[in-house]
Amino acid sequence: MRHVLLALLVAAACGGGSHKSTTPPPPLPETKAEGSAATPAKPDADKPPETAKAPEPPPGPVEIPLKAQQPTVKLVNAGKGKKAQLKLTPKAGDKVPVEIALDFTGKTGMPPELGGPQEQIAPQVIASGTLENQDVGADGTTKFQVAIAKVDAKDITGSKPSATEFKSALGSLAGATIAGSVNPNGSTTDLTIHIDKPDAHTKDALEVVHLALLPMWPVLPTEPIGAGAKWTATSNYKFADQLDVTQTTDYELVSHKGNEWVIKGTTKLSGKDQDMGAPGGQSAKVSGIAGSGSIDATISDGKLAPANKSTLNTSFTATAHVPAGDGQAAKDVAIKFELTQGTNVTSPASAPAPGPSAQK
């Protein structure tokens, strides 16, 4: 995912790996022949033939924590007209279908000697399952579980690798469950994902879950508000597990009609210049961290399942020092990264199936 993207691209700038950009999704397995086709290994005549080993059983179930953002919320304007507190008010025991669509695009501005500008688009990922409210506490905190029944991928214009290949790399997510708690204001605790049969791609596939579920809900003020109310949610976290960034979303309550609250928001991302580790013990200087995005959400009284469509565009420049070698002098190489991700969360029972949510 994002941390894999960064590691591979910085490795390219430092002279290792491919010079092509790669998308945020998990890397697919490489098919490599063992030994050389031209000079096959010779059997040892003095050594008795080895008995074929039985394949090792798949690894057992694992539980992995996913860290949630901890936002700070500030009410800017309480709005007009009749005011009421906007909060999640689910009922214990409710279980509804949920569908999450994810889109990714990656661009890199590389110098000509590294192949020039590159762009890759991932197939759209669609995860479907159920969202269950297991318990609602006296303070309104809801324990929930998302059970992922199916993970699919769909080819879109220009996407690589194929949806079939991409789907196979996400296979361990099918049957996974994600458990955690959400507060009445939409902020969540850290989540725990349970995977019965992890594989070589599970670690990267978890980034799909992280992007999809954190956050799943817009963060709400605790004060009573009316139409036109505005508030700000700010959080600090590690982007790509390495970069310290600040994300600020300015929300507005567009309307409150019946049991539905319609919310829109705009997001800004920023970060100071800092170092980022790279393969081989090298490092890159990251500067110009910036980003923008949007969110459209509808919260319904008495329900936990959100309707939430969001996008986030992030850009920064990584400058790596390439040491002298192969007749070339040492130099600094700068690569600009541009990442776009889109998430669309719906409950198919009450909303149309989501379409692509990230724009090129």
CATH of the domain at 213: 2.30.230
**What is the model's pTM?**
0.78
What does the pLDDT read at residue 14? 36
Query: What's the confidence (pLDDT) of residue 212?
Result: 58
Q: Is residue 28 part of a domain?
A: no
Which of 223, 211, 243, 226 shows the shortest CA–CA distance to 310?
211
pLDDT at 359 over 70: no
358 in a structural domain: no
Q: Report the pLDDT averaged over residues 164-171.
A: 86
pLDDT at 117 over 70: yes
Asked whether residue 283 is assigned to any structural domain, the reply reads: yes
Provide the 8-state DSSP code for 14: T
119: helix, strand or coil: strand
Q: Which of the four pLDDT bands, split at 50, 70 and 90, describes residue 349? A: low
- pLDDT score for 315: 94
Give whole-number Cα distances, 116 to 5, 22, 109, 335, in Å: 17, 14, 7, 10
Q: Is residue 352 assigned to a domain?
A: no
Q: Is 340 contained in some domain?
A: yes
- In the block, residue with structure tokens 């019965």: 196
pLDDT attached to residue 59: 66
Q: How many domains does the chain have?
A: 1
Tell me whether residue 58 is in a domain: no
For residues 118 and 111, give the distance between their C-alpha atoms in angstroms, rounded to a whole number: 10
Confirm whether 269 is domain-assigned.
yes
Q: Are 114 and 154 in contact (CB under 8 A)?
A: no
Q: What is the pLDDT of residues 8-21, one digit of tens each?
A: 333 333 333 332 32
Place 305 in a pLDDT band, splitting at 50, 70 and 90: confident
pLDDT tens readout for residues 237-291 = 887 677 899 999 999 999 998 899 999 999 999 999 998 876 556 678 999 999 9
Taking CA atoms, 4 is separated from 24, 221, 232, 234, in Å, by 7, 35, 31, 26
Q: What is the mean pLDDT of residues 144-157?
A: 92
DSSP symbols for 183-208: -TTS-BPPEEEEESS--TTHHHHHHH
> Is 39 inside a domain boundary?
no
Domain around 73? 2-14+63-346
Question: CB of 131 within 8 A of CB of 96?
Answer: yes
